[in-house]
Amino acid sequence: MELAAGGLVAGAHDLSDGGLALALVEAALASGVGASVRLPEGLPALAALLGESPSRALVALDPGDAGEVAELAARAGVPAVRIGVTGGDRLVVEDVLDLGLDLLRDRYEGAIHRALGEER
């Protein structure tokens, strides 16, 4: 709450449906901006990307606000981990995937049509 009220959050997406993987895709497609991400250590990539454990969010912020956000999170007892940066026209998850936003948009928006054998 304090982050949003202070104008420290440029964007946020919960991880409750599809985990970090879907949140990254949806955020990149909604903003039209790619990202380069390094998954936190200690979990297999599949668990880190698809885990839907509660009370987690992907948050985008200005790099200049990172210190203040980390301080507010620590004060609130909320773990916060920097996983990457935004920019460009690709979604890159280190050692896992590197896809252009155009391809992601086509696959994301056309998935149901393809599954039903329909042309778009």
Convert the pLDDT of each residue in 26-41 to its tens digit: 999 999 999 999 998 8
Q: Would you say residue 79 lies in a domain?
A: yes
On whether the pTM is more than 0.85, the answer is yes
Q: Would you say residue 22 lies in a domain?
A: yes
Quote the CA–CA distance of 82 and 104 in Å, as a whole number: 23
Three-class SS of residue 97? strand
Q: Does the pLDDT at position 110 exceed 70?
A: yes
Q: What is the DSSP letter of 77?
A: T
Q: Would you say residue 120 lies in a domain?
A: no
Strand intervals (E) in 1-69: 11-14, 35-37, 57-60
CATH number at residue 75: 3.90.650.10
- 2: CB partners within 8 A, 6+ apart: 72, 76
Q: State which residues form the domain around 105.
A: 2-115
Q: Would you say residue 14 lies in a domain?
A: yes
Q: How many domains does the chain have?
A: 1
pLDDT for res 1: 65
Quote the CA–CA distance of 98 and 16 in Å, as a whole number: 23
pLDDT tens per residue, range 50-108: 999 888 999 999 999 999 999 999 999 999 999 999 999 999 999 999 999 999 999 99
